[in-house]
Amino acid sequence: MKKYFIYLVVLFISLPFYAQETTIKEFNSDELSTVRLLKIYVPKSYEDSPDRMYPLTIILDSEFLFDVYVANAKLFANKDKAPEQIIVGIVQNQKRERYEDCAYNKITSMPTEKSTHFYRFIRNEVLNYMDVNYRISPFKSIVGNTLTANFINYFLIEEDPAFNAYVNLNPSYALDINAMLHSKIPTIENNTFYYIISGEYNGTKKHELIKNVDALLKTSQNENFDYRYDEINNATIVSSIGQGISNSLAFVFDQFSAISKEEYKKKIAHMSPPDAIEYLEKKYVDIEYLFGANIKIREKDIFAIEGIIMDKEDGDYLEEFGKMINRLYPESPIGDYYIGKYYESGNFYKKALKYYKNGYAKMSNDNPNKDGYYQNVERVLTLQKEEITDKIKFDKLEKEEKKEEKATKTLEKEEKRKRKEIEKEKKKAAKDN
């Protein structure tokens, strides 16, 4: 109960703040031959960032889902767990429009004639309007609840799916959706996220159908299809909406978030240093392309792969790692530290000292780590002195060895001369006899 209260608090606190960011548009639809109302939420940063693109989310049943989704989306964006989004809610419950909008043929499980027009309204009119009038990134999501959740699947099973993420809140699946998904999923070529929430509160028949779909989706071998199913049995169909939306945001935008323990263990831990660096750089290239968020590699993610860089392949990639960090955070001492560590491990103490000093110079006097960082400088200075001492000792030893070698050669030469004189005397004595 406490969790549900928190969801409501988040919603009501957020309402005054995002109301000014939401507009109501009367959309004159050719497909539906009528005017439909759209709620369009645009983040405050939109006007201040003219070059930035934003992912788009379409919300069906907006009277029930829009406010909850926007509140959670703002929370996730503020916590750097998801990108800011442009969110469009389609009003469907003024005159019970949802039942015609999202109806399906009980025999074929396909949309009816009227719901086919609603499908085209979203596919051809709403998406086109948003692409033309707003800066929309390639990543698009769609969210539905019960009947409207079933409807969003028709966008997935088409030849060229319109969305990247499908959030199914307690879906009232058509009987043959299971078979349609089974046929479609192996052919998906782009990264696609599919989320379901359900529980016993949905009733035995509906819940069993959802679990059948879940069993099928879990067998998918397509790496482009990411799937998550949440079964929550201590909830109601209403309270599950908040839980489902929150969980779906965490799932769909996991790629945007900093590297988690699960992501590290599953995708990174086995990598070599160059592969780990490439993975990190690609992660942020994808974030910019898909979500329109041009953010620097987070320091947290840099530290996430530090162990791989330092412990594998004798630290040979520390220099490359440090240079990457210096490009991203030129004001930080971290990059210089890794480059210094690289040269220190190779016994190039003069170069190591240079980078450690560069890093130390970047630290403010009130930095609590400054004294600790200076220990790198002191350590290398000590190693330099030891190297010089060792060199002096080596030179002395080498000089003594050369002197001893010279004395040995002189002795051998003298011995050889004496032997020749003895031979010479022997031959002379033999001749005289």
pLDDT, position 405: 63
Tell whether 327 and 214 lie within a shared domain: no
For residue 59, give every residue at least 6 positions away whose Cβ sits within 8 Å of its Cβ, in sequence order, or none. Answer: 39, 65, 66, 69, 87, 88, 89, 90, 142, 143
Residue 414 lies in a domain: yes
Q: What is the reported pLDDT for 5?
A: 42
Q: Are 323 and 414 found together in one domain?
A: yes
On whether residue 27 sits in a domain, the answer given is: yes
Residue 396 lies in a domain: yes
The pLDDT of residue 78 is: 95
> Is residue 245 domain-shared with residue 327, that is, in the same domain?
no
Domain that holds residue 57: 2-252
Confidence (pLDDT) at 20: 60
**pLDDT of 393:** 53
* Sheet (strand 22-29) strand order: 22-29, 34-41, 86-90, 54-59, 136-145, 165-169, 192-198, 225-231
Distance of alpha carbon 325 from alpha carbon 330, whole angstroms: 7
Number of structural domains (the chain) is 2
80 and 167, same domain (yes or no): yes
Tens of each residue's pLDDT in the chain, 433 residues: 444 444 444 444 444 444 468 999 999 999 999 999 999 999 999 999 888 999 999 999 999 999 999 999 999 999 999 999 999 999 999 899 999 999 999 999 999 999 999 999 999 999 999 999 999 999 999 999 999 999 999 999 999 999 999 999 999 999 999 999 999 999 999 999 999 999 999 999 999 999 999 999 999 999 999 999 999 988 899 999 999 999 999 999 999 988 988 899 989 999 999 999 999 989 998 888 888 888 888 988 988 998 898 888 778 888 888 888 898 889 989 889 989 888 888 888 888 889 989 989 999 999 898 888 889 988 988 888 877 775 565 555 556 556 656 666 676 677 777 777 777 777 777 776 6
Contact 290, 55 (CB under 8 A): yes
Does residue 245 share a domain with residue 337? no
Same domain, 247 and 328: no
The reply to whether 205 and 345 lie within a common domain is: no
What confidence score (pLDDT) does residue 107 get? 96
CATH of the domain at 372: 1.25.40
Residue 394 lies in a domain: yes
User: Is there a single domain that holds both residue 39 and residue 157?
Assistant: yes
* pLDDT reported for residue 403: 64
CATH number at residue 71: 3.40.50.1820
Q: Are residues 237 and 350 in the same domain?
A: no
Q: Is residue 296 part of a domain?
A: no
Decide if 277 is inside a domain.
Answer: no
